[in-house]
Structure 1
Amino acid sequence: ATAPSPAVSAREAPIAAAGGVRRGLPRVVGGEPWPPADTVPLAPAVAASVEPVAPAPVAPESTGPRSTPAVAAPVTAVAVAETAPAIADVATPLPWTRTVWNGRAPRRIAEAPAAATGRRRPTWPQAIAVLFGAAALGVLAGAAIAFVRALLSLPFMQDFLAAFPGEYEPGIAVEPGFSPWVGWQHFFNMFLMVLIIRSGLQVRTEKRPTVFWTPRGNAKGKISLNLWFHQSLDILWLVNGVIFVVLLFVTGHWVRIVPTSWEVFPNALSAALQYVSFDWPHENGWNNYNSLQQLAYFATVFIAAPLAAITGFRMSGLWPKKAEKLSKAYPVEWARALHFPIMLYFVAFIIAHVALVMLTGFLRNLNHMFASQDAVTWTGFWVFILSLVVIAIGWVAARPLVLAPIAKAFGKVSGR
C-alpha cells in the first residue's frame, strides 16, 4: 500500500476539520436557530482551486518489488461541492418588506410620474367640453334675454310695468343722499369681507397648520393662526355691522333698505325682468333704491349677516363647552352645514353688486358710495382705487410673518 498524497491530505484537511458555524437566534417566530445546523463556512482555498494538482513523487518502500506510483485524482471545486454538505452564504441578508411609513410631507418630494402630471393638464376633449359648455350658456342667456324682451312687449306685461315700474315711494319720508359715515362703513365692510372670505377658505382647506395661537390661561384653547385671524376679523366685522345698524336707525335711513309696503315684491319682479331684458329700470339710488336692490340689501344685512355670525359663533372656541342642553338644541353640524353656503351667498352678492355698479353709471355710483356726492366726476373713482390698494396690501400682509406679532399681543404663538 502507498501512503496518501500530501497534496490530497492538505486539500482535504480544511474540509475535514471544518465544523459548524456559530448559530444565533431564529429569523422567524418559532423557527430554528440561524444558520442551519449543516452549514459550514466557505473555504476560500477550496472554492478557488479549479486546476488539477500535479501528483507528488512517492518514495519507494525499502523492501518488496517496485510498484507503480499512485497518482492522486485532481481535486476540483465541483468535487468538493459534491462531497461537502450544502454551503449557505450567511453574508446575504434575508428578503424583507419595508414597513416604515414615508409620511405625508417627506423632506425630499419625488418627482411625480408622468401619468399623474398628465391628469392635471386638460385634454383636448375636456377643453372642447368646456368651450361647448360656455357656448351653451351663452346660447341659453341669449334665449332668456330674447324671451323676456318678447314677454315684456305683450300688452298685459306693459300694463304690469306701468303699475309696478320697479320701485315704490316709501311710507316714511327720508332725507336723500348719503352721509360720510355710510362711505366709511361701506369701505370697512368691503375690506373686512374680502379678508374674511380669504381666511375662511384658508381655514377650510388647511390640512396641517404650521403656526398656532393659544389664549392666555387656556392651554386647551390652542387653534391655528389662520383660524385666530379669521375669528378676529369676524369680531371686527360684527362691531362694524352693529355701528352701521345703530346709525341706520338713528338717522332714519333704515327706510332705504327695509321694505315698508307689500308692493316691494311685484316691483322687485318687475325690476328683475327689466334687468334680464337689458332695458334696465331707472336708477335713482341717491334718493331711493329700486325694490330688487332693497330686498337684496335687506336680506344681506338682516338675514345673511346674522346667520353668518350665529353659525360662526357656534363653531368657534367662544361657544360654552359646558352648555350641554344648548349644544344639543343647536348641534355644531347645523352650523357647519349653513356657514359655507352663507359665504357663497356673500360672494355671489359681491359679484352682482360690483357688476351692476359698473354697468349702471359707475362714476355716479362710485361718487355715491365713496365721495358722498351726486355728481358724475372722478372723485369717487380715485377713492375707490385707493381703497382697492389698501385691500391688496391687507391681502398680501395676511401671512404669519405679519400676523404673529399681532397675535402675540393677545396670546401665545408657537410652531406646534
Structure 2
Amino acid sequence: MPAEAPAAPAASAQPSPPAPRRTGRFTGRQWLRALAGAVGLVLLAAVVVLVTRWFVSFEAVRDFLVTYPGETPLPEGAPVGLPAWLAWQHFFNMFLIVLIIRSGWQVRTQTRRPAMWVRNNTAPFKTKGAPKRITLTLWSHFAFDALWLLNGIIFVVLLFATGQWMRVVPTSWDVFPNAASAALQYLSLDWPTENGWVNYNSLQLLAYFTTIFIAAPLAALTGIRMSGAWPAKATRLNTLYPVELARAIHFPVMLYFVLFIFVHVVLVLSTGALRNLNHMYGGQDAVNWTGFWIFAASLIVVVGGVLAARPLVLAPIAGLMGKVGR
C-alpha cells in the first residue's frame, strides 16, 4: 500500500491589519481628499470668475447688461418694505426647515432604530387592522412637516392678502433676461445693486418663486405620498403616482433647499449684512445692529430646538398622539 501523505501544516493565522489612524471622525487620507476637493472648488470658482469677466468684456454683452440691468419693475401699487409678519414667518420657516432637514437625514441614515410610535387606533382615526408602527424619528419628521406646511399656508395667504406676492411672482417675461444679467454680474463679482427693501433683482425673484411655489409644494406632495396618511388601497391613484416616483423627487428637493439656504445665507452676509438682516428681522431699511441681534437670538433658538429634538424630549410629545415603545 502507498505511504500516507503527510498532513499539510496548518496555515498560520494572519494578523488583521491595524485600523487606520483617525483624526476626529476621518482618516488622514479622507482629510486629504476633503482638502483636495476644497482646493479644487476654489480653483474652479476662480476659473468661472475669470471666464465670466472675459465674457462680459465683449461689447455685445455690455450692451445686454445695459438693456437688462438685472431687475424688472414691480406692478403698480406694489408694497414697499417688509412687514413684521414676514419677519416672523421667516423665523418660523428657518426654525422648522432646519429640523425637517435634520430629521429627514436621520431617517435616511439611521442604523440603530430608536423608539417606535404607533397612533391610537381610535375614532376618528380608527382603521381596519393594526395601525402602522413607525420610528420616533420618522414621527418627528412628519410632525415638523405638518407645522412647516401650516406655516407655509399662512404665509401664502398673507402674501396674497397684503400684495407682497408682487415681489416674488414674475409679472413680465423680461424677468428671464434680467435674471441672466444678474447671474453674469454675480459670477463676474461685479454684483448687482442690492435693494431688497424695495425690489429684488430678477435672479432673486425667480429663486424665491421657485422655492415658494415649486419646491415647497413638491416637498409636501412627495412627503404625503410616502407617509402613512396616503390611502394604500387607492389602486388607480397609486398607479398614477407610485411611491417610487415620490422617493425619487423628495430627496433632490431636500438637496435643493440645502443649496438655496447656503446661497441665501452667503449672499445675505456678503451684500451688506447689517442692512439685509434689518430687512428680514428688524423691519427697517437702516444700517444698524438691531436686525443682527434679533438674528443672533433666533439662531440660539434654532440651535436649542436642534438640541432638544431628541427621543427624551420627543417621546412625551409623541405619546400625546399615540403610543411610544420598543
Given that 1:311 and 1:336 are in contact with CA atoms closer than 8 Å, whether structure 2 keeps it comes out as: yes
Partner of 1:381: 292
Partner of 1:147: 51
Asked whether 1:302 is paired with 2:208, we answer no
Q: Which moved more, 1:369-378 or 1:209-218?
A: 209-218
Given that 1:170 and 1:261 are in contact with CA atoms closer than 8 Å, whether structure 2 keeps it comes out as: no
Which of 237, 258, 263 is 1:347 aligned to? 258
Question: Where does 1:174-189 land on structure 2 (aligned, <5 Å)?
Answer: 174-189=78-93
Partner of 1:402: 313
What TM-score, normalized to structure 2? 0.89
Asked whether 1:166 is paired with 2:77, we answer no
Partner of 1:333: 244
Partner of 2:234: 323
Asked whether 1:240 is paired with 2:144, we answer no
Asked whether 1:292 is paired with 2:203, we answer yes
Structure 1 residues 115, 172: CA separation in 2 closer, same or farther (over 3 Å shift)?
farther
For 1:403, what is the secondary structure of its paired residue? helix
Deviation at 1:116, TM superposition (A): 4.2
The structure number with the bigger radius of gyration is 1
Asked whether 1:412 is paired with 2:323, we answer yes
The 1-side partners of 2:77 and 2:177 are apart by: 22
Structure 1 residues 396, 255: CA separation in 2 closer, same or farther (over 3 Å shift)?
same
The 2-side partners of 1:267 and 1:236 are apart by: 35
> Percent identity, aligned pairs only?
58
Letter paired with 1:404: A
For 1:221, what is the secondary structure of its paired residue? coil
Deviation at 1:232, TM superposition (A): 0.5
Letter paired with 1:414: G
Given that 2:114 and 2:137 are in contact with CA atoms closer than 8 Å, whether structure 1 keeps it comes out as: no
1:46-96 Cα deviation digits (max 9, x unpaired): xxxxxxxxxxxxxxxxxxxxxxxxxxxxxxxxxxxxxxxxxxxxxxxxxxx
Structure 1 residues 279, 118: CA separation in 2 closer, same or farther (over 3 Å shift)?
same
Which of 245, 267, 274 is 1:363 aligned to? 274
The 2-side partners of 1:128 and 1:178 are apart by: 45
The 2-side partners of 1:400 and 1:139 are apart by: 43
Which of 127, 134, 140 is 1:223 aligned to? 134
User: Which has more helix, going by share of residues?
Assistant: 2
Deviation at 1:352, TM superposition (A): 0.1
Deviation at 1:150, TM superposition (A): 2.1
Asked whether 1:192 is paired with 2:104, we answer no
Question: Where does 1:23-42 land on structure 2 (aligned, <5 Å)?
Answer: none
What TM-score, normalized to structure 1? 0.70
Asked whether 1:264 is paired with 2:175, we answer yes
Structure 1 residues 410, 380: CA separation in 2 closer, same or farther (over 3 Å shift)?
same
1:306-336 Cα deviation digits (max 9, x unpaired): 0000100000000011211111111100011
Structure 1 residues 164, 184: CA separation in 2 closer, same or farther (over 3 Å shift)?
same
Partner of 1:313: 224
Asked whether 1:253 is paired with 2:157, we answer no
Letter paired with 1:298: F
The 2-side partners of 1:130 and 1:402 are apart by: 35
Q: Of the two structures, which has the highest relative contact order with CA contacts closer than 8 Å and spacing of 6 or more?
A: 2
For 1:220, what is the secondary structure of its paired residue? coil
Deviation at 1:132, TM superposition (A): 4.1
Letter paired with 2:47: A
Task: Mark the runs of 5 or more structure 2 residues left unpaired by the alignment.
Answer: 1-15, 122-126
Task: Mark the runs of 5 or more structure 1 residues left unpaired by the alignment.
Answer: 1-112
Structure 1 residues 115, 276: CA separation in 2 closer, same or farther (over 3 Å shift)?
same
The 1-side partners of 2:93 and 2:32 are apart by: 41
For 2:106, what is the secondary structure of its paired residue? helix
Letter paired with 2:119: P
Asked whether 1:201 is paired with 2:105, we answer yes
Question: Where does 1:125-144 land on structure 2 (aligned, <5 Å)?
Answer: 130-144=34-48
The 1-side partners of 2:85 and 2:173 are apart by: 30
1:253-280 Cα deviation digits (max 9, x unpaired): 1010000000000000000010011110
Given that 1:172 and 1:255 are in contact with CA atoms closer than 8 Å, whether structure 2 keeps it comes out as: no
Deviation at 1:117, TM superposition (A): 4.1
